[in-house]
Amino acid sequence: KDSIRKTIDFSTTDQSRGIKSPPAEKPCNSEVNKINLIKPGDWKLIYEVSVETAMARRKSRRSYTKDAVKLEELSFLLWATQGLRKQRAAVHNFRTVPSAGCRHALETYVAAFRVEGLPKAIYRYLPMSHQLVEFIKHEHLEDLISRAALGQSFAGKSAVTFIWTTIPARMEWRYGMASYKVIAIDAGHVCQNLYLACEAIGAGTCAIAAYDQEFADNVLGIDGDEEFTIYMAPVGKVQ
Task: Say if 131 falls within a structural domain.
Answer: yes
Do 95 and 87 touch, CB atoms closer than 8 A?
A: no
Task: Say if 11 falls within a structural domain.
Answer: no
Q: Mind listing the pLDDT tens digit for each residue in 107-121? A: 999 999 999 999 999
Query: What pTM, to 2 d.p., does this model score?
Result: 0.95
Provide the residue range defining the domain that includes 115: 30-237
**C-alpha triplet 198, 203, 209: angle, nearest 5°:** 70
- Grade residue 92 by pLDDT with cuts at 50, 70 and 90: confident
End-to-end, the C-alpha distance of the chain in Å comes to 42
Task: Say if 8 falls within a structural domain.
Answer: no
pLDDT of residue 48: 79
Alpha carbons 9 and 12: distance in angstroms, whole number = 6
Task: Say if 195 falls within a structural domain.
Answer: yes
Number of domains in the chain: 1
* Most trustworthy range by pLDDT among 20-29, 133-142, 182-191: 182-191
Q: Which parts of the chain are beta strand (E)?
A: 34-36, 84-88, 92-95, 106-112, 121-126, 131-136, 160-166, 203-205, 228-237
Q: Which of 37-41, 88-92, 105-109, 112-116 shows the lowest per-residue confidence on average (mean pLDDT)?
A: 88-92
DSSP 8-state secondary structure symbol assigned to residue 59: -
- The mean pLDDT value of the chain amounts to 94
Q: Write out the H or E segment, with its range, that includes residue 192.
A: helix 179-198
Residue % of the chain over a pLDDT of 90: 80
CATH number at residue 213: 3.40.109.10
- Grade residue 47 by pLDDT with cuts at 50, 70 and 90: confident
Task: Say if 125 falls within a structural domain.
Answer: yes
- Grade residue 29 by pLDDT with cuts at 50, 70 and 90: confident
Neighbours of 17 (CB within 10 A): 9
Residue 120 exposure: Cα atoms within 13 Å on the Cβ side = 15
Task: Say if 207 falls within a structural domain.
Answer: yes
Task: Say if 24 falls within a structural domain.
Answer: no
DSSP 8-state secondary structure symbol assigned to residue 223: -
Task: Say if 45 falls within a structural domain.
Answer: yes
